[in-house]
Structures are given as structure tokens and as C-alpha cells.
């Protein structure tokens, strides 16, 4: 039980876990490919444009 408590305290102390800007963010838990899938073409065009 002590290991669980230590892990929980470490998680609570992690700065990103307490950031107010990210408090409304709810990650989907899906794959990165699925998350970005529909935006791939837009991201690719913007990346090519940024290189120019």
C-alpha cells in the first residue's frame, strides 16, 4: 500500500497534472494516428509552406 501512496503523491506533484490551462483537457486515450488522422493533409500543407 505504501508504494501505491508514493506513486499517487508523485503523480499529484507532477506539474503538468496541476496546470490550470490543461484542467479542461480530456485526452481520448486513442492512438496518435487516429487523433491526427483527419488533419494530416492540413498539417502536411502547412509544413511544406513553412519550409518555403
The domain ranges of the chain are: 1-51
User: Could you tell me how far CA 34 lies from the centroid of its own chain?
Assistant: 14
R_g (Cα) of the chain, nearest Å: 18
Show the cell assigned to 11.
Answer: 503523480
| Predicted local distance difference test score (pLDDT) of residue 15 | 59
Whether the predicted model's global pTM rises above the 0.85 cut: no
> What digits encode the pLDDT tens for the residues 3-52?
888 887 777 666 555 566 666 666 677 777 777 787 888 888 899 999 88
Amino acid at each position: 500500500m505504501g508504494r501505491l501512496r508514493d506513486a499517487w503523491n508523485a503523480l499529484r506533484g507532477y506539474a503538468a497534472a496541476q496546470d490550470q490551462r490543461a484542467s479542461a483537457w480530456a485526452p481520448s486515450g486513442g492512438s496518435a494516428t487516429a487523433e491526427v488522422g483527419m488533419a494530416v493533409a492540413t498539417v502536411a500543407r502547412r509544413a511544406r509552406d513553412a519550409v518555403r
